[in-house]
């Protein structure tokens, strides 16, 4: 079931008790609208099974697809697979919840917006460091990085030698 007016808003008030299926395809436009500019291309299919019960909704999200992001090492674009499942429980009530997998809905609510939740679940599923597999980084950029790292290490060695003579702690090295 796809919605066209507000594709990420699911009106649950008219749904019967039981399981309902929803599907979404998220592209780079979805991430741009959320303010995440690093993703240059995306195609992530989301299957949502919403189990409506008397006092709660149980949402089972299944994400599958890939996004294109810059490599943290060489800055060239790389493809990152997305494959994860998450369950979120929507409970009716007035109290706050500290549980990240429990969303409390006011009893007067009649629809849930899953846009922000899907965005958060995908971003959290990404690795903290995005790098190409070994040997796939841009060779020119890697050579430039190696040159700067080598120069930086030489500068550090020179600074340590200079610091040894001028440091107030250098006097203590001669005490035995």
pLDDT single digits (tens) 34-77: 988 889 899 999 999 999 998 899 999 999 999 999 999 898 99
- The pTM for the full model equals 0.76
176 within domain boundaries: no
Q: Are residues 110 and 45 in the same domain?
A: yes
Q: Which residue has the higher pLDDT, 160 or 8?
A: 8
Containing domain of residue 120, as a range?
9-125
Give the tokens for residue 115. Answer: 């846009």
77 shares a domain with 146 = no
Top-confidence range, 11-15, 84-88, 148-152: 84-88
Q: How many CA atoms lie within 13 A of 150 on its CB side?
A: 6
Determine the pLDDT at residue 147: 83
Higher pLDDT, 162 or 128: 128
Kindly state whether residues 96 and 68 are assigned to the same domain: yes
Number of domain units in the chain: 2
Q: Are residues 38 and 91 in the same domain?
A: yes
Q: Say which residues have a Cβ less than 8 Å from residue 32's Cβ, sequence separation at least 6.
A: 39
Answer whether residue 1 is part of any domain: no
Which three-class secondary structure state does DSSP give residue 83? strand
Q: Answer yes or no: is pLDDT of 168 > 60.
A: yes
- DSSP label of 51: E
Pair (153, 101) in one structural domain: no
Q: How many H helices and E strands in the chain?
A: 4, 7
């Amino acid at each position: 079931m796809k919605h066209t007016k507000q594709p990420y808003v699911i009106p649950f008030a008219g749904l019967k008790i039981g399981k309902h299926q929803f599907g979404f395809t998220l592209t780079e436009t979805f991430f741009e609208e959320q303010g995440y500019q690093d993703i240059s291309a995306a195609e992530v299919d989301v299957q949502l099974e919403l189990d409506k019960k008397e006092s709660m909704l149980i949402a089972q999200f299944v994400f599958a697809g890939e996004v294109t992001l810059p490599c943290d090492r060489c800055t060239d674009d790389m493809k990152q697979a997305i494959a994860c499942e998450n369950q979120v429980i929507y409970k009716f009530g007035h109290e706050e919840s500290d549980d990240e997998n429990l969303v409390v809905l006011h009893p007067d609510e009649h629809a849930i917006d899953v846009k922000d939740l899907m965005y958060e679940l995908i971003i959290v599923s990404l690795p903290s460091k995005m790098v190409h597999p070994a040997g796939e980084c841009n060779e020119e950029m890697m050579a430039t990085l190696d040159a700067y790292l080598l120069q930086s290490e030489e500068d550090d060695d020179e600074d340590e030698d200079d610091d040894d003579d001028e440091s107030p702690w250098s006097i203590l090295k001669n005490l035995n």
